[in-house]
């Protein structure tokens, strides 16, 4: 019976010893390379939207009506491949075709290239708009604001 106990105990010790031995383990002292899951940072698998290298057109935020003094206004609407620029001055309302370029909307009026740019009221050069914060200026003396 003592032989049976010895054989069973030997089998347990032998099994434990074999399980701790791994012939596939490297015999060099170089560290094992990290597993792919450990080397990939969590941010790399983020579901955040991809950023575009194209500069967004700031004029998209300008759509709508902008008021000037004495009933004048500038109305910007999205149109095919650009913008519809509607300007009401003291004499009449006129419509022009505009295109977004270099952070502005460019259009032609009376044979001259004009450019609508974001400014504040002081930059319009108009005392009625001084102190306002959110404005568009076509040229000094011609501006429109939302606040």
Q: What is the pLDDT of residues 75-130, one digit of tens each?
A: 999 999 899 999 999 999 999 999 999 999 999 999 999 999 999 999 999 999 99
Q: For residues 129 and 136, what is the distance between their CA atoms, to the nearest angstrom?
A: 11
Q: Tokens standing for 123?
A: 């930059």
- Write down the pLDDT at residue 18: 44
CA distance readout (Å), 110 to 94, 95, 113: 11, 12, 8
Q: What is the pLDDT of residues 21-65, one digit of tens each?
A: 555 555 555 555 555 555 545 554 545 555 545 556 778 899 999
């Amino acid at each position: 019976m003592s032989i049976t106990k010895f054989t069973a105990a030997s089998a347990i010790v032998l099994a434990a010893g074999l399980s701790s031995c791994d012939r596939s383990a490297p015999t060099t002292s170089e560290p094992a390379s990290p597993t792919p899951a450990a080397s990939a940072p969590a941010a790399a698998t983020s579901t955040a939207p991809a950023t575009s290298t194209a500069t967004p057109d700031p004029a998209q935020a300008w759509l709508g009506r902008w008021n000037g003094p004495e009933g004048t206004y500038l109305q910007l609407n999205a149109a095919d491949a650009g913008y519809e620029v509607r300007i009401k001055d003291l004499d009449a309302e006129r419509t022009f075709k505009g295109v977004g370029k270099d952070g502005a909307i460019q259009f032609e009026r009376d044979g001259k290239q004009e450019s609508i740019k974001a400014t504040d009221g002081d930059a319009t050069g108009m005392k009625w708009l001084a102190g306002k914060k959110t404005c568009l200026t076509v040229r000094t003396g011609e501006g429109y604001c939302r606040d």
